[in-house]
Structure 1
Amino acid sequence: MRVKNKSTELAEADLTPMIDMTFQLIAFFMVLINFAQTESHDLVKLPSSQLIKPPDQPFEFPIMLHITQDARVFLGGKDYTAETLSSGLRAELAVARAQDMGPKDANVIIRAHRNTAAGEVQEVIRACQALEFVNFGLRAKEDLGRKGEG
């Protein structure tokens, strides 16, 4: 008896949808990680407040300043003091001017550690005002535990 050789064909799967989905997930996580880095800093623990409220609308040109407990100021991942902050702010102004905006169009958002001295925050605000920034926002963490207590 003769044995027949069965020809086996290799089945090929179309990998295009899977590769497309992989690139979409990579792009999604890159955007997500970028937002998370600008909105927080490991060395800054925000104070709690019952009086905070979220902004009515997103800021058009936000400049995020992170002030640590030992008065170091982080702007765009770089470390400054209140005295040296103007060089970083000038770089932000250059970006704003490239978009036909000025210091009055920017919103300086200050995220200060809960144990930072108020005088240190005032020095940072003075450094911003010296470059004609006028719009400021202070970030705090909502205190949910004490709401409704009288």
Structure 2
Amino acid sequence: MRVKSEKRELTEADLTPMIDMVFQLIAFFMVLINFTQTEANDHVKLPSSELVKPPEQPIEFPIVLHVGFDGVIYVGGDQYTAETLGTRFRSELAVLRAQGDAGEKEANVIIRAHKDVAAGEVQEIIRVAQEEGLENFALRVKEDLSS
């Protein structure tokens, strides 16, 4: 006796609703992302200040420095000391010039120093930046809401 085999057709699932939902979730989380945390670094606990005020205009060409409690300077995931920081400033300025956007006059050095870092170390960072021709500086602090 011969057994008849039936050929079954493969059905394909319609992925359009799932792809649509994925794009909606991506858009949702892009709207909710907190861009202020993108400057955060685990090695830095900012000091508090009652005199803190937001910048008057947006900072267009930032060079963000994170100064840890041990004095190590973090820029873009790399570690520097005050002596080796000049090479990073030169490379950042070279990128700005190559893009044709700005130079040392338009670049802004944002210093996020740990609350226990000595003021002399921050002054040394500013001195190194000034030797490279940088003029605009901003110090980041946390707003003191206790009063």
TM-score of the superposition, structure 2-length normalised? 0.81
* Overall identity of the aligned pairs, in %: 67
Where does residue 135 of structure 1 map in the other structure? 136
Deviation at 1:15, TM superposition (A): 2.1
Unmatched 5+ stretches in structure 2: 1-8
Alignment of 1:40-51 (within 5 A): 40-51=40-51
Q: CA RMSD in A?
A: 2.9
Q: Which residue number in structure 2 is paired with residue 78 of structure 1?
A: 78
Match of 1:4 in 2: none
What residue ranges of structure 1 are gaps of 5+ in the alignment?
A: 1-8
Query: Could you say which residue in structure 2 is the equivalent of 1:107?
Result: 108
1:109 counterpart SS class: strand
So what's the TM-score if we normalise by structure 1?
0.80
2:60 — aligned with what?
60
Alignment of 1:1-80 (within 5 A): 14-23=14-23, 25-26=25-26, 35=35, 38-80=38-80
The aligned length equals 139
CA distance in 1, matches of 2:34, 2:80: 21
Q: Structure 1 residue 126 and structure 2 residue 127: aligned? A: yes
- Note the alpha carbon deviations across 1:38-79, whole angstroms, 9 max, x for none: 411000000000000011222110110000111100111100
